[in-house]
C-alpha cells in the first residue's frame, strides 16, 4: 500500500520519512522487491533448466528454421503455397485460414445470435421456446464435441463426391465439401463492384442530407429504401456498362468429383458451422440481457412521444441496449477467435495445426508455441482495441 501520509496539502511541512519496518511505504517497497525477486528467480530457474535440457538433448533453438523449406502440403490455401516453400509461408497460410474462419464466423454468429436473442422476446410462444431450447442445448455442450460431431456428419453421413447431392442444380454437397457457382470474373463484374461502391457513397451522402433536413425542418425523410435503391442502381449501372455479362462458373457433377465452380472443404465447413452455432448461443444471451436491461418505461415514454414501433426500437431502445451489449459481445468475438484453434482436432490447417506439424518436424516447440501465442495475443488485442473504439462511440456522451 502506498503511504497515505505523503498526501498532504501544499502548505503543510513535508512529513518526515520514517525508514523503519513499521512504515507502510517501506514495507510496500520491500514487498515489491521480494515479488520481483521471486519472479526473476523463477524465470531464471526455468530458463536455466531449459537451456541445460536443450544442450543435453541436442535440441537446436532459434527462429532460423522459418526460412527452411517446410516440406508438407496444406489442403486449404488462400495464397499460393507448395511444400518446397519455407516455414514462414506455411505459418502465413495457417494465419490466413485462422482469420478467414474467425471473420466469417464472427459475422454469421452475430447475425444468428442477434436473431435468437431478439426471438426470446417474441410474442409467439413457439418462437420464444425454440430460441430458449436452442440456447440451452448449444451452450451446455463442449464446442470441441460439437466440432467433432459436425465433422463426423460431414464426412460419414454425406454421399461421396461421385454422387454429390444437388441443391437446385447449382450447389453440390458431398463428403468432399460444398461446391457453389461463382461468376466468371471480368470487366462487367469489376464495374458492378465499382458501381456498388459509388451507390454506397451516394447513399451515405443522402443519409447525411436527410438528417440535416430533418434537424432543420422536423420532417422525416425516408432513408432505408432510397439507400437500397441507390446501391442497387449503382451495381446495375456498372454491370450494364460492362456489357451485362452473364457467365457463371457452375459446378458440374462428375464421376469421381464435382468439377468447376468454387468449393469449401468439409473441414472448413465443420469448423465454421460448429463455431457459429456455439457462439451464437452465447451472443443470443448477450443480446437478450442487453435488451432486458432497458427499462420498459423507456419504450412507453417513446410511445407517448408518438414514435412508431420501429422508431422506438431504433432511436430509444437499441442505443441504450448497445452500451450493455458491446463489452460482453467483444468477449464472445475473442472467444470465437480463440476457439478456432480447436480446428486442429479435425485437421483444418489453421495456425495451431500448422505449428503442431512444425513442432513434430523440427522439434522447435518453444518457437512454434511462441508463434501461436503471438498470433492470438495480437488478434485479441487488435479486436479489443477496435471494439473499445466502437464502445467509446456508443457510450453515454455526458455533457
Binding site for other proteins (CB under 8 A): 1-2, 28, 31-33, 35-36, 39, 46, 49-50, 52-54, 56, 59, 122-127, 130, 136-137, 139-145, 148-149, 152-153, 156-157, 338-339, 341-342, 344-345, 352, 355-356, 359, 365-366, 369, 372-373, 376-377, 380-381
CA torsion, ordered 166, 169, 170, 173, to nearest 10 deg: 10
- For residue 290, the minimal CB distance to other proteins (Å) is 18
**Vertex 351, ends 347 and 353: CA angle to 5°?**
30
In residues, how long is the chain? 399
Neighbours of 27 (CB within 10 A): 14
Who's near 396: CB < 8 A, 6+ residues apart?
Answer: 323
Pairing of strands 171-174, 177-180: antiparallel
- For residue 47, the minimal CB distance to other proteins (Å) is 9
Q: Which is nearer to other proteins, 149 or 252 (CB)?
A: 149
Q: Which is nearer to other proteins, 107 or 133 (CB)?
A: 133
Q: Which is nearer to other proteins, 257 or 344 (CB)?
A: 344
- For residue 24, the minimal CB distance to other proteins (Å) is 8
- For residue 239, the minimal CB distance to other proteins (Å) is 35
Q: Which is nearer to other proteins, 22 or 397 (CB)?
A: 22
- For residue 70, the minimal CB distance to other proteins (Å) is 19
> Which among 394, 373, 386 is positioned nearest to 333, based on CA atoms?
386
Q: Which is nearer to other proteins, 125 or 304 (CB)?
A: 125
Q: Are 258 and 166 in contact (CB under 8 A)?
A: no
- For residue 304, the minimal CB distance to other proteins (Å) is 22
Q: Which is nearer to other proteins, 46 or 240 (CB)?
A: 46
> Which among 283, 364, 306, 286 is positioned nearest to 68, based on CA atoms?
364
Own/partner pairs, 20-27, CB within 8 angstroms, 24+ separation: none
Q: Which is nearer to other proteins, 104 or 153 (CB)?
A: 153
- For residue 26, the minimal CB distance to other proteins (Å) is 12
Supply the angle between the helices 351-362 and 365-394 in degrees, to the nearest 10: 160
What is the DSSP annotation of 287-314?
Answer: HHHHHHTS-HHHHHHHHHTT--HHHIII
Residue 394 grid coordinates? 456508443
Q: Which is nearer to other proteins, 249 or 341 (CB)?
A: 341
Q: Which is nearer to other proteins, 152 or 252 (CB)?
A: 152
Cα dist from 190 to 1, 236, 260, 263, 314, whole Å? 64, 12, 21, 22, 35
- For residue 186, the minimal CB distance to other proteins (Å) is 41
The strand pairing partners of 165, in sequence order, are 173
> Which among 88, 261, 120 is positioned nearest to 184, based on CA atoms?
261
- For residue 255, the minimal CB distance to other proteins (Å) is 24
Amino acid at each position: 500500500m502506498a503511504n497515505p501520509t505523503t498526501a498532504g496539502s501544499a502548505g503543510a511541512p513535508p512529513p518526515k520519512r520514517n525508514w523503519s519496518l513499521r512504515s507502510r511505504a517501506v514495507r510496500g517497497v520491500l514487498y515489491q522487491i521480494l515479488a520481483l525477486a521471486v519472479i526473476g528467480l523463477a524465470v531464471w530457474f526455468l530458463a536455466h533448466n531449459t537451456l541445460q535440457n536443450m544442450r543435453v538433448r541436442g535440441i537446436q533453438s532459434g527462429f532460423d528454421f522459418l526460412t527452411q523449406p517446410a516440406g508438407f502440403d496444406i489442403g486449404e490455401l488462400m495464397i499460393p503455397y507448395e511444400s518446397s516453400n519455407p516455414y514462414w509461408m506455411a505459418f502465413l497460410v495457417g494465419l490466413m485460414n485462422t482469420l478467414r474462419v474467425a471473420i466469417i464466423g464472427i459475422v454469421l454468429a452475430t447475425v444468428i445470435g442477434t436473431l435468437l436473442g431478439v426471438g426470446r422476446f417474441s410474442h409467439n410462444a413457439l418462437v420464444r421456446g425454440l430460441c430458449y431450447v436452442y440456447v440451452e442445448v448449444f451452450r451446455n455442450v463442449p464446442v470441441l464435441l460439437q466440432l467433432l460431431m459436425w465433422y463426423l456428419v460431414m464426412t460419414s453421413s454425406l454421399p461421396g463426391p461421385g454422387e454429390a447431392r444437388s441443391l437446385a442444380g447449382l450447389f453440390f454437397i458431398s463428403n468432399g465439401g460444398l461446391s457453389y457457382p461463382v461468376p466468371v470474373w471480368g470487366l462487367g463484374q469489376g464495374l458492378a463492384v465499382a458501381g456498388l461502391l459509388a451507390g454506397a457513397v451516394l447513399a451515405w451522402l443522402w443519409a447525411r442530407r436527410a438528417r440535416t433536413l430533418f434537424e432543420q425542418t422536423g420532417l422525416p425523410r425516408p432513408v432505408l429504401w432510397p439507400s437500397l435503391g441507390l446501391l442497387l442502381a449503382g451495381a446495375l449501372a456498372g454491370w450494364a456498362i460492362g456489357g451485362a455479362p452473364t457467365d457463371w462458373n457452375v459446378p458440374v457433377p462428375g464421376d469421381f468429383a464435382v468439377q468447376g465452380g468454387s468449393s469449401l472443404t468439409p473441414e472448413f465447413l465443420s469448423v465454421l458451422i460448429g463455431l457459429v452455432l456455439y457462439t451464437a448461443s452465447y451472443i443470443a444471451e448477450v443480446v437478450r440481457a442487453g435488451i432486458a436491461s432497458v427499462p420498459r418505461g423507456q419504450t412507453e415514454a417513446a410511445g407517448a412521444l408518438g414514435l412508431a414501433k420501429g422508431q422506438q426500437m431504433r432511436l430509444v431502445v437499441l442505443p441504450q441496449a448497445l452500451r450493455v451489449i458491446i463489452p460482453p459481445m467483444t468477449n464472445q468475438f475473442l472467444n470465437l477467435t480463440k476457439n478456432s484453434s480447436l480446428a486442429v482436432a479435425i485437421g483444418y490447417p489453421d495456425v495451431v495445426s500448422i505449428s503442431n506439424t512444425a513442432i513434430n518436424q523440427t522439434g522447435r516447440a518453444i518457437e512454434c508455441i511462441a508463434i501461436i501465442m503471438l498470433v492470438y495475443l495480437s488478434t485479441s488485442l487488435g479486436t479489443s482495441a477496435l471494439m473499445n473504439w466502437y464502445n467509446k462511440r456508443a457510450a453515454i456522451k455526458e455533457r
